[in-house]
């Protein structure tokens, strides 16, 4: 029993050099079944070659329109992504600059302050103005020691 060649094997003979395909051609010349397959394959190839490959103008217009839409969609998506990235970068920069400004304006104490020990003294006060002088209460509330650290943050305020 001899081996019969498939359509794929017979198709290869179209692209082979004549010396390389001689064994297949010799078999096809002797085998009726392979000859029929070879004739059907040759007819298919002729039909494909005779088929017009020109497309109508509407086909190319539709193809161009689909491509342009895809390009515009990709461009719009790219702009949205870039805009979102720029906004995120600006927010991060504003946050970092705000933190740096607040860090620089507030004084930092390197060592813990020791609690102040006040000795009790008895004193008789005669008037309210004498009491202010004795207790060293400043006339401007912003001049007090407790609020001294916050002066840089509120120096833009004008308190009269």
Domains of the chain by residue range: 7-50, 56-103
| Beta-carbon contacts of residue 70 (< 8 Å; ≥ 6 apart) | none
d(CA 53, CA 47): 12
pLDDT for res 84: 92
Instruction: Note the pTM of the prediction, 2 decimals.
Output: 0.32
SS (H, E, C) the chain: CCCCCCHHHHHHHHHCCCCCCHHHHHHHHHCHHHHHHHHHHHHHHHHHHHCCCCCCHHHHHHHHHHHHHHHHHHHHHHHHHHHHHHHHHHHHHHHHHHHHHHHHHCCCCCCCCCCCCCCCCCCCCCCHHHHHHHHCCCCCHHHCCCCHHHCCCCCCCCCC
pLDDT tens digit sequence for 78-92: 888 999 999 999 999
- Interatomic CA distance for residues 131 and 124, integer angstroms: 9
Query: For residue 129, what pLDDT is reported?
Result: 56
Identify the segments of the chain with pLDDT beneath 50. 1, 110, 160
Give dist(CA 135, CA 118) in Å, integer.
12
Which pLDDT does position 156 carry in this prediction? Answer: 55
What is the structure's pLDDT at 88?
94
What confidence score (pLDDT) does residue 117 get?
A: 66
């Amino acid at each position: 029993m001899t081996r019969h060649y498939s359509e794929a094997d017979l198709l290869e003979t179209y692209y082979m050099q004549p010396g390389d395909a001689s064994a297949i051609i010799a078999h096809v010349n002797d085998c009726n079944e392979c000859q029929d397959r070879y004739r059907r394959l040759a007819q298919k190839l002729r039909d494909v070659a005779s088929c017009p490959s020109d497309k109508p103008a509407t086909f190319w217009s539709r193809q161009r329109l689909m491509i342009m839409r895809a390009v515009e969609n990709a461009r719009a998506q790219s702009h949205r992504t870039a805009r979102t990235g720029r906004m995120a970068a600006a927010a991060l920069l504003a946050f970092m600059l705000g933190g740096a400004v607040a860090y620089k304006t507030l004084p930092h104490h390197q060592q813990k302050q020791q609690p102040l020990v006040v000795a009790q003294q008895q004193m008789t006060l005669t008037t309210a103005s004498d009491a202010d002088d004795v207790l060293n209460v400043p006339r401007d509330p912003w001049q007090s020691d407790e609020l001294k650290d916050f002066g840089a943050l509120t120096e833009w305020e004008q308190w009269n």
